[in-house]
A and B are shown apart, each in its own frame.
Chain A
Amino acid sequence: MIILNADKMTKRFGGLVAIQELDVSIQESSIHSIIGPNGAGKTTFFNCVTGFYRPESGRITFSGHNIGGLTPDRVVKLGIARTYQNIRLFPNLTALENIMVGLHPHLNAGFFGIVMGLPSTRHEEVEAAREAEKLLNFVYLEGKGDLLAKNLPYGDQRRLEIARAMAAHPKLLLLDEPTAGMNPRETQEMMDFIRHLRDQLGITILLIEHQMRVVMGISEIVTVLDYGKKIAEGTPEEIKSNPTVIEAYLGRGSAAEAH
């Protein structure tokens, strides 16, 4: 079943066409990677899906809802959460608070409920803290809940960002270069973790990745973008042997990394 579908989607910045008539379909419960050289439009695609940008034309549907042009807060409520290429945690909030902000759409307390300290509000708050704690453990950050996000080590920050995204109970999780800046061991851990996410929770994963080892290692389908256009799509094996891809992408100095 297709969970996310982009149909002839186009995004322009002035004269620059960042994404041109892109058609992409993401299968539910798959791990799908998007690759391409720098400036190919990968992150722009993420920004269009999550409501940061509004595509000029084309449709994006998520589980049957048209999400083109919705604001980010509406999109996340439908079940799409994301992480960022350069980690964007709330640096001066604690790890636990970061996750609890992620739970925001599932909490209902209003101004008066909070000021009055209604039992339902208190109950909700206790439950939220408990769930946040659970997510914290899920990303192997036990006991680090009271630390400020910015004081966590790099790998922990990456995983905390994923935990925060997961707090929204997403059906689709967009990960923008989750292994950027990681050493081989951390990269391997992150790959295992992403697989674990999908296998345990059934979350569909859409991934932007530069490390070919990761892309080939965990994705089931790979979409290749170049200059805002889709130039190839298929299993990792198909992509590896696709001449267009090799020319456009692997041929530009990344070939060595692929092997």
Chain B
Amino acid sequence: MTIIKSFWDHGIKVGLIGAVTALLLSLIGMVEAFSQRDIIAGIISMGHTLLVVVVIFMGYISAKQTSASRSGWPLVNSMISGLIIAGSLVLLLFLGRWINLRSIFINASPTLYNLLTFDFGIENGWIFLLISGACCGILAGVLHYTYSPVRRVLIVSFSGVTITGVLQDLIRPTLSAWGPLAAVSDRIFLGNGLSISGALALGLMIAFILIFWGKKGDSFKHHYRNLPAGRQKTVRIAAFVFLIAILLTLPQILGLFLSEVLTIVGLYILLGLGLNIVVGYAGLLDLGYVAFFAIGAYVTAILTSPELGFFSFTFWQALPFAIILGLLSGIVLGIPVLKMRGDYLAIATLGFGEIIRILVLSDFLRPWLGGAQGIGKIPKAAIAGYEFATPQQIYYLILAGCALVVFISLRLRDSRLGRAWKAMREDEDVAQAMGINLVYTKLLAFATGAGFSALSGAIFSSKLSSVYPHSFNVMISINILCLIIVGGMGNIPGVIVGAAALVGLPELLREFAEYRLLVYGAALVAMMLLRPEGLWPEALHRRELHDDQSSAADVETSSESHAGV
């Protein structure tokens, strides 16, 4: 009885969930779209990897949930779930042969079937598919049995190789640009993927680094902590200078296309840090945040563009106006919503965002704001004849903006105001009873966030040389909110990581672009289930949500992260 129950609960059920996932990924065309890029040249494509990851993940969950009292059962269950996932794809194959599925699922194409059968044709391929499903399931089961540090090394090396394959467009040109490394690049990469030897070498290298770091890492940390305070400071300054040097040379290393991606990520970092103050610190859910971005962009456009001919300011003359008007509009939005909380606040601010977009689009304001045609011919920013025109040059402008905003955010975080914001987020009534003036504190949060956003908007308009109403739709607000949730609410490095992951990755992987929203949704759900505190959370939040770790160790990490800042 218990055996059958275990079968059903841990093998079949988990397998069915995996099967639904695999079918979905196949039928929406993700597998096919991803298969254009190989992870290992000529052998395994990104599409296959996607399915393999589903099977291994589900198989691992099967094995993990099965009680270990009966030896061997975890392995059997993980194999069953692997078989079920593969079986569902086999069903799809046969169904696709008898019925024309394309009238419903346009992506159920022969290409997909060929991918699933590894080009063997359905008659022979389905057996192959089942066997590989079972093998992956068993692999997941074996992974469950391995000693946990070994498992970690295996998973990280596998992910490392996969990520290298996925990001080959980023890595290859970067390596090739550097003489001696070009040879390495030629060795590792082949065609449109990694070579077999390259993948193996890379996996081994990552494993080696991990093992080495596992052994020596603690002693390094220990060594660092034992240094006298002055020396520790020297080490920190050295690390900081190194970081600055990297950031300054980045566009030269990465080239034009990647610098463009970086500028987009940078603009989102500016926006994210601003929203982080409003949502992350002060807990005011603002869904109309894009409005301030639009205001910053449009103010800059109106003041600088010769197309309208009202003013002919330079970028630097217009910038203070853009920021100040952003701040003021933050206050103007803040006043009517002072008494609102939670859902109501979200809806009211959402409306504000739309009002701004519709105003900009309206025919009534067309003579001043350009209507749907937008405003063009916005001059580039320039300092003493140096013009920020190409992405590589604009990068520096954005870097300076980010540095400023990170600095202000850090200063505010550890201050009386930062504490007042956080107290307000935790319990507004009690915060007020602690002597915090809610009106002033809320408006200050709205204004600061809006100011950062307006700065981002001003740079955005100068970068594109033009502004259009459709650049400022509600999706931008949602994207920014997603990136701070995924990155780690309330934490500055978290916002940067979130922006890189949610804005940078889709730019790099053109295959992703079409599935961007799906991936966002999946990422958010996965984050809420697996890491509700975000990718790079505040040290304190990590402790709060995973308090199984010893608290003493956590106190150390938190004091360390404070010292690091």
Bin chain B's interface residue count.
Answer: 20 to 34
The stretch from A19-27, A146-154, A180-188 touching chain B is A146-154
Known: A92-B426, A93-B423, A104-B419. Is A148-B540 also a contact (CB below 8 A)?
yes
Which B residues are in CB contact (< 8 Å) with A76? Answer: 433-435
Binary interface encoding of chain B residues 408-440 relative to chain A, with 1 for a CB under 8 A from any of its CBs, else 0: 100110111101101100110111111111100
- A50 contacts the other chain (CB 8 A): yes
> Interface segment, B223-231, B240-248, B551-559?
B551-559
Minimum CB–CB distance from A110 to chain B (whole Å) comes to 8
Check A125 against B430 for contact (C-beta < 8 Å).
no
Task: Please encode chain A, from 164 to 176, with 1 for each CB lying within 8 Å of some chain B CB and 0 for all others.
Answer: 1000100000000
Give the contact stretch, choosing among A111-119, A216-224, A245-253: A111-119
5 more A-B residue pairs beyond the given contacts A92-B426, A109-B416, A124-B416, with a C-beta to C-beta distance below 8 A:
A50-B433, A101-B420, A111-B417, A121-B415, A128-B416
- Interface stretch (choices A4-12, A61-69, A83-91, A193-201): A83-91
Using Cβ atoms and an 8 Å threshold, which residues of chain A touch B437?
73
Chain A residues closer than 8 Å to B433, beta-carbon distance: 50-52, 72-73, 75-76, 81-82
Cβ of A179 < 8 Å from any Cβ of B?
no
Pick out which of these stretches binds chain A: B31-39, B209-217, B251-259, B541-549.
B541-549
Interface status of B444 (Cβ within 8 A of chain A): yes
Q: In the assembled complex, how far is the CB of residue A251 from the closest CB belonging to chain B, in whole angstroms?
A: 35
Task: Say yes or no: A93-B419 contact (C-beta < 8 A), given A72-B432, A101-B434.
Answer: yes
Q: A52-B429, A73-B438 are in contact. Are A146 and B415 (CB under 8 A)?
A: no
Chain B residues within 8 Å of A164, by CB: 434
Q: Answer whether A151 and B544 are a contact pair too, CB < 8 Å, given A73-B433, A82-B433.
A: yes
A148-B539 Cα distance, complex, nearest whole Å: 11
> What chain B residues lie within 8 Å of A75 (beta carbons)?
433
Taken together as a complex, chains A and B put the C-alpha atoms of A238 and B427 apart, in Å, by: 40
Checking B420, B444, B540, B555 against A104 with a beta-carbon cut-off of 8 angstroms, the contacting residue is B420
In the complex, whether A102 has a CB less than 8 A from a CB of chain B is yes
Q: Which residues of B contact A107 (CB under 8 A)?
A: 416
Determine whether A94 belongs to the interface, using a CB cutoff of 8 Å to chain B. yes
Kindly state the separation between the CA atoms of A42 and B9 in the bound complex, as whole angstroms: 54
Spell out B's residues near A (CB within 8 Å): 408, 411-412, 414-417, 419-420, 422-423, 426-427, 429-438, 444, 448, 540-541, 543-544, 547, 551, 555, 558-559
Residues in B whose Cβ lies below 8 Å from that of A97: 419, 422
A88–B419 alpha-carbon span in the complex (Å) = 16
Measured CB to CB, the closest approach of chain B to A157, in angstroms, equals: 13
With beta carbons under 8 angstroms apart, the residue of B416, B432, B543 that contacts A73 is B432
Residues of A within 8 A of B (CB): 50-52, 71-73, 75-77, 81-82, 84, 88, 90-94, 97, 100-102, 104-105, 107, 109, 111, 114-115, 117, 121, 124-125, 128, 146-148, 150-151, 164, 168
A88 near B544 (CB under 8 angstroms)? Answer: no
Also in contact, A148 and B544, with CB within 8 A (given A93-B419, A114-B417)? yes
Identify the closest chain B residue to A110 (Cβ): B417
Contact B412 A114 (CB under 8 A): yes
Asked if B435 contacts A100 (CB within 8 A), the reply is: no
Asked whether, in the complex, the Cβ of B417 is within 8 Å of the Cβ of A84, the reply is no
| C-alpha spacing A136/B448, complex, angstroms | 32
Contact of B408 among A93, A100, A109, A115 (CB under 8 A): A115
Q: Are B541 and A92 in contact (CB under 8 A)?
A: yes
A147 to B411, CA, bound (A): 22
Which residue on A lies nearest to B432, using beta carbons?
A72
User: In the assembled complex, which residues on chain B have CB atoms less than 8 Å from the CB atom of A105?
Assistant: 434-435
Q: How far is the CB of A109 from chain B (nearest CB, A)?
A: 5
Ranked nearest first, the 8 interchain pairs of A and B with the lowest CB-CB distance are A105-B435, A90-B426, A72-B433, A114-B415, A101-B423, A76-B435, A72-B432, A107-B416
B429 — which chain A residues lie within 8 A by C-beta? 52, 72, 88
